[in-house]
Amino acid sequence: MNKNIAVIRGDGIGPEIVEQALKVLDKIADLYGHTFNYTDVDMGGCAIDKWGNPLPEEMLKRCVESDSVLLGAVGGEKWNSVPGDMRPEKGLLRLRAGMGVYSNNRPAKIWKQLADASPLKKEIVEKGIDFIIVRELIGGIYFGEHTTTEESGEKKAVDVLAYTESEIERIGRIGFETARKRSKKLCSVEKSNVLDSSRLWKSVMHRLAAEYPDVTLSDMLVDNCAMQIVKNPAQFDVIVTENMFGDILSDEASMITGSIGMIPSSSLGATSCGLYEPIHGSAPDIAGMDIANPIGTVLSAAMMLRYSFDMPEEADCIENAVSAVLDEGFRTADIMSDGCKKVGCSEMGDLIISKLERK
């Protein structure tokens, strides 16, 4: 197959981790007879420096016209003082909205080789951590009206959290369908004891439940969910939630797996053109030092093959290679533990490539 991939290296460690993922994709192309064409896209702080805009229209166009987008990370201290709508993160939000990718899928899965890295007690980890957070990505407070006004010398800032029934319904369906493919348990997370938008969320989820009788729907308040994720993560299989709750809970969920650097994500909308990125940030403090963990990005590329290009064997091949490298005790600094062998970012990339083999 011939696929066009828009590549956003971004800021901080973005370029070095993306480089490893591209090396892996090239080897996959060789092994399976595909052609992957890469188109560079500037987004984030580097685009602000170059174009005065975190996502120029032409760059968004390249992404929308591609078969899928691979992203490293954006942002950094350097751009912290620029106005809100010119921040690097605004480029990412515009990209998500421009691509219409409303469904963000963030797996929280513990790798058996890294179980010791979890900050949770062994007896909790042993019960298993393997769930998915389906996060609504282009609505809610991130995309509501943002205003700052000043009256009698006092500033007031307002961010609007709004959801329509149809926005809730389309992400709700993704939640039910994801649960259907797994253990058929869906937990809808909201704050319906306080927020109208959450009460609407809950009522739409229950209306949809009638169409998915094989899936058991439960409701959980977001504050309780934050607690349950550390108390008993084994109870979860698929969580569906709105944009900001999903942002917060997915960081918490990644932490309990012990290694945020390992976690990929996919964002999809109505078409197969998706956005694939690791969930960690741009880590400017270690940028350019060749010590970052590229595995989250490599696994994001695997998700791209699986979900957008319908290449499950190729995706398995990458995931098995990562697992084989971990089995041999190779670790980047963030997941290092006693008795393991510490490697840098590009060396980790090379090791993964050395384990790629066509079954």
Which DSSP symbol is given to 148?
E
Q: Could you tell me which residues come within 8 angstroms of residue 163 by beta carbon, excluding any fewer than 6 positions away?
A: 136, 139, 140, 197, 200, 201, 242
CB of 159 to Mg ion, least distance (A): 16
CB of 193 to ligand IPM, least distance (A): 24
Report d(CA 196, CA 144) in Å as an integer.
15
Yes or no: say if 355 and 344 are a contact pair by the CB < 8 Å rule.
no
User: Whose Cβ is closer to Mg ion: residue 55's or residue 260's?
Assistant: 260
User: Whose Cβ is closer to ligand IPM: residue 67's or residue 247's?
Assistant: 247
Region for 311 from its dihedrals, namely left if φ exceeds 0, alpha if ψ lies in -120 to 50, beta otherwise: beta
Quick one: how far is CA 21 from the chain centroid?
A: 15
CB of 142 to Mg ion, least distance (A): 11
CB of 103 to ligand IPM, least distance (A): 13
User: Whose Cβ is closer to ligand IPM: residue 47's or residue 311's?
Assistant: 47
Query: Which one of Mg ion, ligand IPM, none interacts with residue 92, CB within 5 to 8 A by kind?
Result: ligand IPM
CB of 34 to ligand IPM, least distance (A): 28
Region for 273 from its dihedrals, namely left if φ exceeds 0, alpha if ψ lies in -120 to 50, beta otherwise: beta
CB of 105 to ligand IPM, least distance (A): 12
Q: Where are the beta strands (DSSP E) in 126-184?
A: 130-136, 146-151, 154-159
Quick one: how far is CA 31 from the chain centroid?
A: 27
CB of 250 to Mg ion, least distance (A): 6
C-alpha torsion sign, points 96, 271, 106, 353: negative
User: Whose Cβ is closer to ligand IPM: residue 72's or residue 75's?
Assistant: 75
User: What is the SS3 assignment for 15-27?
Assistant: HHHHHHHHHHHHH
Q: Interface with ligand IPM includes 26 (CB under 6 A)?
A: no
Please tell me the count of residues contacting ligand IPM according to CB under 6 A. 5
3-class secondary structure, 117? helix
> Could you say which residues in the range 237-256 bind Mg ion, by CB under 5 A?
247
Quick one: how far is CA 224 from the chain centroid?
A: 23
Q: List active site positions.
A: 142, 191, 223, 247, 251
User: Whose Cβ is closer to ligand IPM: residue 208's or residue 240's?
Assistant: 240
Which DSSP symbol is given to 182?
T
User: Whose Cβ is closer to Mg ion: residue 17's or residue 208's?
Assistant: 17
Yes or no: say if 125 and 269 are a contact pair by the CB < 8 Å rule.
no
Among 6, 28, 71, 92, binds ligand IPM (CB under 6 A): 92
Q: Interface with ligand IPM includes 89 (CB under 6 A)?
A: yes
User: Whose Cβ is closer to Mg ion: residue 247's or residue 334's?
Assistant: 247
Unique residue bearing structure tokens 């609007």: 160
Query: Which one of ligand IPM, Mg ion, none interacts with residue 319, CB within 5 to 8 A by kind?
Result: none
State the residue number with the nearest CB to ligand IPM: 89
Binding flags for ligand IPM, 58-87, as an x/- string (CB under 6 A): -----------------x------------
Among 247, 283, 287, 331, binds ligand IPM (CB under 6 A): 247
Helix (H) / strand (E) element for 251: namely helix 243-256
Report d(CA 23, CA 353) in Å as an integer.
8
- Measured from the Cβ of residue 49, the count of other Cβ atoms closer than 10 Å reads 13
Q: Interface with ligand IPM includes 136 (CB under 6 A)?
A: no
* 274 φ/ψ angles, rounded to the nearest 5 degrees: -115, 170
- Residue numbers of the site for Mg ion (CB under 5 A)? 247
Contact residues: ligand IPM, CB under 6 A: 75, 89, 92, 247, 279
